[in-house]
Amino acid sequence: MKRRTFLLTGLTAGGALVLGWATLGPRQRLRGSRPLPTTGGEVPINGWVKIAPDETVTVIVPKSEMGQGIHTACAMILAEELDADWSRVRVEHAPIDKIYNNIAAVVDALPMNPDSDGMLKQMVRTSVANYAREMGFMFTGGSSSVTDTWEPMRNAGAMARAALRAAAAAQWNVLPEACRVEDGVVILNDRRLTFGALATAARDHLPDRWSLKTPQQFSLIGTSPVRLDAADKSNGKAVFGFDAGPADRLYAAVALPPSLGATVARVDDAKAKAIPGVIAVVPLAGGRYGSRPGVAVVAKDWPTARQGVDALATQWAEGDGGEFSSREAAMDLEARAVRNDGKIWRDDGDVVEAYRRAVYSVEAAYGVPYLAHAPMEPENCTVLVRDGAAEVWTGTQVPGVVRRAVADLCDLDEDDVTLHQQVLGGGFGRRQIVDYVVSAAEIAKAVPGRAVQLLWTREQDIQQGPFRPLNRARLTAALDGDGRITALTSASAGQSMVQGWSRYLEDRIAQNFPEKTTVEGLIDQPYTFPAIRVVHDRVDLPVPVHNWRAVGHSYTGFYLESFIDECAAVKQLDPITYRLAMLASSPRARAVLSLAAEKAGWNAPIAPASPGARAGRGVALRRCFNAYEAQIAEVEISADRQLRVRRVVSAIDCGYAVNPDGVKQQMESGILFGLSAALHGEITIEKGRVAQSNLHDYRPLRLSETPVIETHIVVSDEPPGGVGEVGVAAIAPAVTNAIFAAGGGRIRNLPIRLEKAEVVR
Amino acid sequence: MIALTLNGAAVELDLPDDFPLLWAIRRQGTLTGTKFGCGIAVCGACTVHVDGAPVRSCSTPIASVAGKSVTTIEGLSDPVAAAVQAAWTSLNVAQCGYCQSGQVMAATALLRSNASPTDDDITAALDGHLCRCGAYPRIRAAVHDAARRLATPASTPTAR
């Protein structure tokens, strides 16, 4: 099997596990440019771990905890190599430093087929990795966190362990190799020294070399401990951005543009200022980092600030999107997909010849709507500007961008801005941008010396965007006499999420980001087609768009996996057998597909639970975020045509599973996030105004709609891949394929509306 | 002045009658477990107990709880709540955790009135509590687990 080339073969002594970023060397990310901040006698051993006299081991985690369990996973990776006492391990958000830059996600974004090796591609990946290390930035996203931290976390733990052991050996006047390390203690026969007692001395014994464990030696990695944040998130003690900041802070609410691109024409703030408790009215210029123009009201509490906003007489001037209609835009994108003259992303084999020889041809048009992220914690940020410095309290996926944006807005050096990173009440990509941070800084500047918390309403969260883009596609295939695909083409049209992100970031690396997200999952899908052509027409529209969980896979998965089912149906071939025949070059994809089929009982008859209902199973396969996943959904359509998704079986190969229960949790999470969108998710815009307003009409999935989910993890010694977004992509096509199998017709547009199902053949 | 009992302590609040209970609670400084999610009582993140019953505090005027007993997630102290929180922790229910105070408040109220809820009972009590991370399968499992813990208080915690 070919390995992904960017994970150069840094084999351990055991030889089983590819380690990761061997190209950069273990030291390049080990020590930060400044010492870690410490309290209570903590001793930093390197940029990733501190040890305190009371035996607390603090793991420094550069990834944002937004629900995905990354703090626990990162702590496990480091604690494993350190041989720490897990009960003494805690985590702390990393400061901003380039050793924490996200390298994996940048390299992963290169538009290269993961299956192909080659010297040139290796060189490109290595130089991009170095570029990301020096010029990139810290961010959490792209399901890259474990992949990105796997090697530095392990090396940092092993290095610290070697230093602690050498310090003990020096005290005992023996060779370090004579000592062993267990649960935070260095042991020599009946002598014992704890990490806490050794930490200071360990600083004088920092090693040049250390060895990493083999997977056979792992005792923590590969297990499923209780999450480090589980208790605090069950008793209300977890501190989110919404909960953080000085107790005497003021609160701000904002009036934001009611239509796309609108600006403030005139505002009469007299009535607002007359409300008792209102402290200031602050105009927002907007513009920087995608922030919006508007008017903020600062008050002693948030309900009063909102009253103030309601009392503002704000007149808005319509902007470039004032006439925008998502219905009309969808028609235009459909026409562009038919026109098929966008950028050619992949053109392999002879499509024309395949069509000339085709016995059957298949054609289908698909579409997906705009979607909001709608994390449960609405956008908020607290800023204090005082004496030539600023402090920021928020939960963000991009800490360095937050610091830079506040420095820019307040004319400060970045060193004068302190970010207090908090846990995130959901991210899904929304907290990769800092528009609301900029507004908070604009407001705080006007009230110097007082901390101000800006909080958006839920309506603003849903209506202001940015959104997952509207997209339309037309797929065609040529089939031979046996119904096998001889050529596949995809032509799609829509906005680019990464282009949207780069505008929000004002960041050079992001603006130069190789833009593959519009066609990911089409150009790098795991099937072998004799001929394939992938075209995308990138369209600029006056709608803010940005990464949304699973990015391009959130719709390309629906397109391709629906379409393959449609092709299989031409000769009534079994959808799994049909797929397996096209996966000769992807054993990992074959394995997850076969495992899902076995666990779901694919070949067993399926019966509806209620009289008059019809049931069916559907399958979908995805390779994304360095993982492979197959899902089989079981649906039931009642006599009165109500859809129920009753069971989902997932088989995932995410490489080495650091925390199997964490993997399962993320599969459940991704599947339900994707199902939420498949069943209900839709943002529509008319006359530049978003029609949906809150969680009653932009409706997340509910407990009552939640299917039974079974996750099966393929045991793997491949390096760890991603899991956070993987489950999102396959659920929509698995469900729509199941609807087809149940006789409910073919669903080609999301969200699913059974009454719009097309009768096919 | 509006007088009420908050987590067992008598408090007097100088607030307008229509001031939302959620924000009255959060003004107390340390009580940050109760969250703002939607502002219109559809998501459940702001759920507290008023005289033991789950209530959406974002849309509850402070005057309507005058003379009543309000309990937030910080004020939970009975064996039912302890069982719910133990189940929530051991089953790794929470992901981002932002909605979980509300989920725990609703689950605790359910188990106080129904010691062995069926799946349908759980759905009825918790269906209005939204979670974007998709903790739902574990929420259901944890309510059942908490019920089992309460039925056999001497049993050991659920093994993982």
Residues facing A194 on adjacent strands: A185
Is A376 in Cβ contact with B43 (below 8 Å)? yes
* B94 contact residues in A (CB cutoff 8 A): 67, 227, 229-230, 233-234
Residue-wise pLDDT tens digits, A164-181 = 999 999 999 999 999 999
CA dist A58 and A44 (Å) reads 9
CA dist A108 and A129 (Å) reads 10
Is residue B33 a contact partner of residue B81, using CB atoms and an 8 Å limit? no
A409 has pLDDT over 60: yes
Using CB atoms within 10 Å of the CB of residue B77, give its burial: 0 to 12 exposed, 13 to 18 middle, 19+ buried.
exposed
Confidence class for position A10, pLDDT limits 50, 70, 90: very low
Is residue B59 a contact partner of residue B20, using CB atoms and an 8 Å limit? yes
Is B138 in Cβ contact with A665 (below 8 Å)? yes
CA dist A332 and A336 (Å) reads 6
Is B43 in Cβ contact with A227 (below 8 Å)? no
Q: Element (H or E) spanning A632, and its range?
A: strand A627-637
CA dist B73 and B77 (Å) reads 9
Stretch among A115-119, A187-191, A573-577, A749-753 having the lowest mean pLDDT: A115-119
Q: A 21-80 residues with CB below 8 A of B?
A: 66-69
Mean pLDDT confidence for A142-149: 94
Is residue A687 a contact partner of residue A259, using CB atoms and an 8 Å limit? yes
Residue-wise pLDDT tens digits, A294-339 = 999 999 999 999 999 999 999 999 999 999 999 999 999 999 999 9
| ipTM exceeds 0.90, yes or no | yes
* The pLDDT of residue B143: 98
Residue-wise pLDDT tens digits, B28-74 = 878 999 999 999 999 999 999 999 999 999 999 999 999 999 999 99
**At A124, is the secondary structure helix, strand, or coil?**
helix
Q: ω before A466 within 30° of 0 (cis)?
A: yes
What percentage of chain A exceeds 90 in pLDDT? 87
What is the nearest CA distance from A304 to chain B, expressed in angstroms? 9
* The pLDDT of residue A117: 64
Alpha-helical segments (H) within A137-229: 145-172, 195-202
Torsion of CA A546, A552, A557, A560, to 10 degrees: 130
Mean pLDDT confidence for A200-205: 98
* A708 contact residues in B (CB cutoff 8 A): 137
**Of the candidates A610, A593, A611, A590, the residue with the CA atom closest to the CA atom of residue A602:** A593
Q: How far apart are the first and last CA of chain A?
A: 39
* The pLDDT of residue A761: 55
Residue-wise pLDDT tens digits, A670-724 = 999 999 999 999 999 999 999 999 999 999 999 999 999 999 999 998 999 999 9
CA dist B77 and B54 (Å) reads 16
Confidence class for position B8, pLDDT limits 50, 70, 90: very high
* The pLDDT of residue A508: 63
Cα–Cα distance list, A411 to A256, A403, B143 (Å): 24, 12, 52
Residue A725 touches partner B, C-beta closer than 8 Å = no
Q: Tokens 């149940």 appear where?
A: A742
Arithmetic mean of pLDDT over chain B: 95
Per DSSP bridges, beta strands A532-538 and A627-637 are: unpaired
Q: Tokens 């908070």 appear where?
A: A440
Is residue A644 a contact partner of residue A638, using CB atoms and an 8 Å limit? yes
Alpha carbon of residue A409 to chain centroid: 28
Mean pLDDT confidence for A22-51: 87
Q: A 395-424 residues with CB below 8 A of B?
A: 423-424
A87 has pLDDT over 80: yes
Q: Element (H or E) spanning A298, and its range?
A: strand A294-299
* B32 contact residues in A (CB cutoff 8 A): 236, 239, 242-243
* Amino acid code (one letter) for A588: R
CA dist A75 and A96 (Å) reads 18
* The pLDDT of residue A22: 44
Is residue A75 a contact partner of residue A228, using CB atoms and an 8 Å limit? yes
* The pLDDT of residue B149: 97
